[in-house]
Amino acid sequence: MINSTPEKKLSHNEVLKENDPILAGNLAETLNDPDADCFSNDDGQFLKFHGIYQQDDRDLRKTGKKYMFMIRGRIPSGIMKADHYKVYDDLATKYGNNTLRLTSRQSIQFHGVVKSGLGPLMKSINDALMTTLAACGDVNRNVMAPPTPATEPWMHQVHEDSELLSNALLPTTPSYHAIWVEGVQLNIQEHKNHHDPLYGKTYLPRKFKAAFAMPPLNDVDLFTNCLGFVAISEGDKLTGYNLTVGGGLGMSHNNPNTFPRKADVIGYLTRDQVEDVAKSVLTIHRDFGDRTDRKHARLKYVLEEKGVAWFRKELESRLGFNLEDAKPFEFSRQGDRFGWHQQADGNHFLGLFVETGRIKDTESIQLKTAVRKVVDTYGVEVRLTPSQNMLLVNIPSDAVDAINQIMKDHGVPTTHEKSPVRSATMACPALPTCGLALAESERYLPGLIDRIENQLGEAGIPQEEIIIRMTGCPNGCARPYMAELGFVGRAPGKYNVYVGGNEAGTRLNKVYLESVKDADMDETLGEILKRFQQEREGDERFGDWSARVLWPELESAGKE
């Protein structure tokens, strides 16, 4: 019997990669064309592999498209030397919109860069021995790790492994250096047979994300990553890692074939096996991921459809050795440390809250200027957190008072004064820069938190911490599906409301209401928070109460 089922066609992106395996497109030619203010749509896909998104200012669309670019750095573990931070700060002022945007993957994005500034900005980053290569695109993205200075004698080894992995999983395309350092357009035909030793000719079906975590703190949201390493220690020695695979949050509204998924625990490996295991996991995604539907192309769907037992067998076959069974571990919390703290080496670090991740100067708080002055004066290291905040680390005791004064002079508090609920928030940039945004996020969330603070006060629990995250679309860049209270843009001024994540970041939440209008948000949230205050058991958190009380109500109402 002949199978009449038609073979699915490869997605357009797969055809692009097949025809241009060095990812060069016509990028250098367009970059050097003074009359062009943007790149073609196809070249826009290649740009992503170089760490760049072509965007336009959506606030100005009624008067015509004003093209601009978002550039994202590759910063393993979010750790930046003072000189590197100063380069980023200067470039934001000179070529961007005078702000630095901290990301949920411990990186920095430039926004508002026009094409004439794109080349000089990219060359300056590379001249400073930094890179944006593979910060976006169908490759491994920025590798995450706990940013807090050493609290264990072996913590630096986790950062070493993070950097090792970041370098080991980089693509080898020659076009990045040619375009952004030399300004040369490579001949695609001369490189048509380029075959990356790890990624092959067509790279991955979709993006790939990796992270390291140190229990009991899950500040990197480990289970949302394609690949995760849970640090396991014995006494004062890091012995190895538990391996997690198959997490990911992106989904599409009204598409049941797409969904958030929490990673599975696969087994245990020793430190010297990290690189081999990571490469083998990545190649399974490369070989089995869906190349016909980009909405269904993440590694999480391979795990969901083939199962953990299949995956472990396939992984061990590629490795040539068997993993040990996973070691016991437990995550109990997430979040950042604010204010002053002493490091294990006797120095100090300062945790600074950065609302919605935007380092900028306002009339009342000149955060960008203050941080730059501290970095200039004391040469401190800067670390970026997975919750879009920042740490200034390795500060000697005799500099603490002077740094406090610098911050005070610029309106930046060094004793954390934000409410617990505001401190636990995160938002994606969304409008006006992101082309995927369906609703506001970064610009909307601070005002919404004002209203939630008022409602918490009216409910009699003004100091309650609730982990709140918002995105302008369902792709989930700010990880709203792990939040105790999540908001996902559905349309202008409308959001799906999710409840039931937990403090440890080990439980996905569930949708509670769909398409809630901004005008109805106060009433909706006010009712939930009052119920929470009345029905909670002891010091039960909002997410745990939601899972215990609201989830069964949703199930009985047939909403799940």
Q: How far is CA 353 from each of CA 54, 74, 336, 365, 546, rounded to the nearest angstrom?
A: 29, 22, 9, 12, 27
Instruction: Kindly state whether residue 21 falls inside one of the protein's structural domains.
Output: no
Higher pLDDT, 1 or 458: 458
State residue 418's pLDDT score.
87
Q: Are 259 and 249 in contact (CB under 8 A)?
A: no
9 located within any domain = no
Domain with residue 497: its CATH number is 3.30.413.10
Catalytically annotated residues = 72, 141, 207, 209, 428, 434, 473, 477
Cβ–Cβ under 8 Å, residues 68 and 111: yes
Question: Which distant-in-sequence residues (6+ apart) come within 8 Å of 79 by Cβ?
Answer: 147, 159, 381, 382, 383, 384
State pLDDT tens for residues 92-113. Answer: 999 999 999 999 999 999 999 9
Q: What pLDDT sits at residue 6? A: 60
- Assigned domain for 331 exists: no
Q: Which residue has the tokens 């497109």?
A: 25
Structure tokens given for 518: 């901004």
pLDDT score of 552: 97
Cα angle for residues 244, 247, 250 (degrees, 5° grid): 165
The pLDDT, as a whole number, for residue 560 is: 53
Quick one: CA dihedral 279, 285, 287, 288, positive or negative? positive
Q: Answer yes or no: is 267 within a domain.
A: no
pLDDT digits (tens, 9 = 90+) for 56-72: 999 999 999 999 999 99
Look at the block and give the residue holding tokens 């909307």: 444
Q: Is the model's pLDDT at 349 over the cut of 50?
A: yes
pLDDT of residue 415 exceeding 90, the answer is no
Answer whether residue 446 is part of any domain: yes
Cβ contacts of 48 within 8 Å, gap of 6 or more:
136, 137
**What per-residue confidence (pLDDT) applies to 1?**
40
What is the total count of domains within the chain?
A: 1
- Report if residue 482 sits inside a domain: yes
Residue 14 lies in a domain: no
The CA–CA distances, whole Å, from 469 to 344, 400, 431, 476, 495 equal 32, 32, 16, 9, 12
Residue 451 lies in a domain: yes
Query: Cα(222)–Cα(244) distance, rounded to whole angstroms?
Result: 8
Domain that holds residue 491: 421-556
